[in-house]
Amino acid sequence: MMERLVHAIQCIGCPIGCGGEVTVEDGVVAEMTGFTCNKGLAYAAEEVVAPKRMVTTTVRVSGGGLPLLPVVSVNPVPKERIFDCLRLLRGVSVVAPVAEGAIIISDALGLGVDFRAAREISLL
């Protein structure tokens, strides 16, 4: 028996924020309506089948002017793996100085996603 689901999606790909519907049949996108650009179509198709999000958090710093370093994923992380990445980063500690853009974790959890420093941390 074929499972058919219709999802209402509000696009966040650009400032227009158009909305539409995505019909999924047996886990595959079968039809999309209402989106006004290719960004919206791509976002909506991914959102209903395999949603991803950018991840931002902090890691501990020793010997620096600040106790925490903000880090951000270079690419979006599969939504179901976000908390796994946060657990991994909770155990990370870096030593100052740290340059903005420095890779803090490479290929986190084998997902192909790096985490970079979002700012510079200088020595005390």
DSSP 19-53: EEEEEEETTEEEEEES--SHHHHHHHHHHHHS-EE
Reported as a pLDDT band with limits 50, 70 and 90, residue 55 is very high
CB 69 within 8 A of CB 61: yes
Span 83-105, average pLDDT: 98
Provide φ and ψ at 43, rounded to 5°: -60, -50
The pair of three-digit structure tokens given for residue 52, joined into one six-digit string? 């991803």
CA dist., res. 101 & res. 107, Å (int): 15
| Residues written for the chain | 124
Give the E-state strand segments of the chain in sequence order.
4-10, 19-25, 28-33, 52-53, 56-62, 68-73, 77-78, 93-95, 103-105, 115-117
Q: What is the pLDDT of residue 5?
A: 92
Span 89-107, average pLDDT: 98
CA dist., res. 71 & res. 52, Å (int): 17
Task: Note whether 112 and 85 are same-domain residues.
Answer: yes
**β partners of residue 5:** 24
Q: What is the pLDDT of residue 1?
A: 65
Mean pLDDT of the chain: 95
Q: Which of 11-20, 47-56, 60-69, 95-104 has the lowest mean pLDDT?
A: 11-20
Write out pLDDT tens, residues 1-14. 678 999 999 998 88
Query: CATH number for the domain including 113?
Result: 3.10.530.10
Q: What is the pLDDT of residue 46?
A: 92
Task: Identify the domain boundary among 12, 27, 50.
Answer: 50
| Residue span of the structural domain in which 26 resides | 4-50
Task: Note whether 12 and 26 are same-domain residues.
Answer: yes
Write out pLDDT tens, residues 66-83. 999 999 999 999 999 999
Whether 123 is in a domain gets the answer: no
